[in-house]
Amino acid sequence: MLKLKKVDAKMNLKQLAGIEAAKFVKDGMIVGLGTGSTAYYMVEEIGRRMREEGLRITGVTTSNATKEQAEKLGIPLKSIDEVPVVDLTIDGADEISADFQGIKGGGAALLFEKIVATYSKETIWIVDSSKLVDKLGKFPLPVEVIPYGSQQLLHIFEEKGFQPVLRTDENGEVLTTDGGHYIIDLHLEVIEQPESLATYLDELVGVVEHGLFLNMVSKVVVGSEKGVEILDAIRRK
Ligand code: 5RP
């Protein structure tokens, strides 16, 4: 199903998607709060609704950055270990294929994002239309690894022709995730078989998690020049 709403000229496309998705949040929900520049707008909108409309929710954050933002907005928070289940998670994505599989982790929060999404009844992704692709893989696939043995994994990925790059931060230092791990980005160009690649990565010792989010999303809210589209994905989990 596809619904279209008009673009407000003053809003950017990420903001449009973030604000629209926040409408799915209902009073009393436990809400997974994603990470990134699109999720930022969704969290701000939830904060606004709490202030102006009296919405009450409990947030479960997916990164230290989102936790900081949510705390500033006065959103009550619990950790994923303190809730029975998350009602709804809203998060960004780096690429979404035509069959609603995703790559996430551009913002280095993929591990906590995947944990929160896994224990959520429903997950919505919010993106601008540039993130919609036919097949995954143009966006480098992030793989979160334990620092100990990470050079071995880099060699293995090199030999496989995955063009691995150890992610660094803005100072050129090796980036450390909120979970204390490294990220290796795989430059694959196209992923023909996401399921088998996911299984391969899942089985490698030292890999903590990877950015293939398969069969996890139920709706995608897309901000495009034409307006906001809400795409219903087939949930196959
Ligand atoms: C962080 C993520 C983000 O959701 C993803 O990178 C999209 O970010 P943005 O909304 O800034 O484009 O997976 O780990």
What's the pLDDT tens digit per position in 56-104?
999 999 999 999 999 999 999 999 999 999 999 999 999 999 999 999 9
Q: What is the pLDDT of residue 8?
A: 59
CA 161 / ligand 1 centre spacing (Å): 25
Q: What is the pLDDT of residue 107?
A: 97
91 ligand 1 Cβ < 6 A: yes
* pLDDT one-digit tens code per residue, 161-198: 999 999 999 999 999 999 999 999 999 999 999 999 99
Q: What is the pLDDT of residue 71?
A: 98
Q: What is the pLDDT of residue 2?
A: 47
Say whether pLDDT at 137 is over 50: yes
Distance CA 36, CA 53 (A): 25
For residue 222, what are the CA distances in angstroms to 17, 38, 82, 97, 138?
A: 6, 11, 31, 13, 19
Average pLDDT estimate for 224-236: 85
For residue 71, what are the CA distances in angstroms to 33, 54, 213?
A: 12, 17, 27
The three-state secondary structure class of 170 is coil
34 ligand 1 Cβ < 6 A: yes
- Strand locations in the chain (E): 2-5, 30-33, 58-61, 88-91, 95-96, 102-103, 123-128, 141-145, 164-166, 182-186, 207-210, 212-213, 219-224, 227-232
pLDDT grade for 236, boundaries at 50, 70 and 90? very low
Contact 145, 181 (CB under 8 A): yes
Rounded to two decimals, the pTM is 0.94
113 ligand 1 Cβ < 6 A: yes
Q: Which residue, among 29, 84, 39, 85, has the nearest Cα to 59 in the 3D structure? A: 29
Distance CA 172, CA 170 (A): 6
Residue nearest to atom 8 of ligand 1 (CA): 36
Name the residue of 104, 114, 130, 209 whose CB sits within 8 Å of the most ligand 1 atoms, as the mutation to test its pocket.
Answer: 104
Distance CA 128, CA 111 (A): 22
Name the residue of 16, 38, 40, 111 whose CB sits within 8 Å of the most ligand 1 atoms, as the mutation to test its pocket.
Answer: 38
122 given a catalytic annotation: no
